[in-house]
Amino acid sequence: MLVIWCAKSDYLDFTSIVGWYKNATVSRYYKEVEFEDGYIQDYNVIAKAEDCVLLPVNARIRRTLWYVPRKGKKNGPSYGFGQSNVWFANEANENIHLKDYLDRIISQIYNYCGENLVE
């Protein structure tokens, strides 16, 4: 499964893709892992490090490349994040504009060969 991580910038007025996990496993319920120092972290998505990308900030802020729409805004798109910050983007069969957007973003992800802050 492809999981795409997004965030809204504090200084720019848009949401962008900040990274992704390819071949991820998503759990319905949170699991926890305890580190050697006793710190406990909850998680529900996991992937191999080589399948993970964290975009550098200068790439994320390029609105033309990694922009993610928010629906509900006046004259905005008919797809994207709503009030919730979770979006499953599963309406592509019913919305040609969403299908085009997803095709472009997925292609960009699978063809990305730029800097990766995970490495």
Q: What is the pLDDT of residues 87-117, one digit of tens each?
A: 888 888 888 999 999 999 999 999 999 999 9
- Cβ within 8 Å of residue 4, ≥6 positions away: 17, 19, 20, 105, 109
What is the pTM (predicted TM-score) of this model? 0.88
pLDDT given for residue 102 in this prediction: 95
pLDDT given for residue 8 in this prediction: 87
- Go through the chain and tell me how many residues it has: 119
